[in-house]
Amino acid sequence: MTATRRIVAAAAPDERGRPVPQVLVLTVFDTDADIARALAASATGYLLKAERPQLLFAAIRDAAAGRTVLSGTVADRMMSRIRPRVALTERERDSSAT
């Protein structure tokens, strides 16, 4: 992620203060540590190479526009770490309870 840090640090900010160019990581590695390092280095997004080509093309366009892009599995993993898990009671799980 050294390259990502250097690219972002050397870039001049755009009118919204975001660095240009945007860095989109495309990789086969999906460990929490790899994802965290890329995002900490200011990558705009993190995509896995297994994504469908249509998603990859759309993600490249989104990242170029400065929007954050994550593979679905990466986003799910990040959200599961952020969002608290709440266990429902049996009554709450019962679909007939109102």
Task: Look up residue 83 and give its amino acid.
Answer: R
| Integer Cα distance of 75 and 78 in angstroms | 5
Q: For the chain, which domains are there?
A: 2-85 (3.40.50.2300)
Please check the confidence at residue 18 and state whether its pLDDT lies above 80. Answer: no
Q: Which residues contact 20 (CB under 8 A, 6 or more apart)?
A: 11, 12, 13, 14
pLDDT of residue 95: 67
Q: How many CB atoms lie within 10 A of CB 34?
A: 16
The residue among 47 and 82 whose pLDDT is bigger is 47
Compute the mean pLDDT over every residue in the chain, rounded to the nearest whole number: 86
Better pLDDT: 10 or 51: 51
Distance separating alpha carbons of residues 13 and 7, to the nearest angstrom: 12
The stretch 45-55 carries a mean pLDDT of 95
Q: What pLDDT digit, counting tens, does each position of 56-96 carry?
A: 999 999 998 889 999 999 998 888 888 877 777 888 778 65
